[in-house]
Amino acid sequence: MFQQDYLMKLIMQFIQGIQRSMERASSENDEGDPESAADLLEATIGVATEIDGGVLLSLSPDSIASVLQVSGTDPGVAEYIGRTMFLESDYLARAGRAEDAQLRLDQARALADAYGFELSESLGGEGSMRQFLQQEQAE
């Protein structure tokens, strides 16, 4: 029971952080602030994993998947992390940070492979996240 409550709390933190970042990415003007939105996502990942976001997100794609598996990260939380990285990749690309965007995309793909979920790359990071959140809400 306690573990289930804890997982729900983590997922709610993710959802709130994702929603705030999506608002930030589209606020102020038509272009929004994708760099600030990406920073917010990194902070969300750090809080939810209880691992320093900067350290975790600097790992190679294979290493990040291994660290989360060894630490016993719940598969549902790992999926949120991977999808959040995919969204962050989109924001970093929009902010002109192509190298960082590619790293996040590769990390997201590594988590998807390790935990068995699919990223809807044809929809892009934001479209994929919106679809995922709608599916989660429907369940």
Per-residue pLDDT, 38: 93
Instruction: Kindly state the DSSP code that residue 28 receives in the 8-state scheme.
Output: S
Domain range enclosing 107? 33-137
d(CA 24, CA 111): 25
pLDDT digits (tens, 9 = 90+) for 21-34: 998 888 655 568 89
How many domains does the structure of the chain reveal? 1
pLDDT digits (tens, 9 = 90+) for 56-102: 888 999 999 998 889 888 899 899 999 999 999 999 999 999 999 99
Domain membership flag for residue 21:
no
CB 13 within 8 A of CB 47: yes
d(CA 34, CA 52): 21
Domain membership flag for residue 24:
no
Per-residue pLDDT, 106: 96
Domain membership flag for residue 25:
no
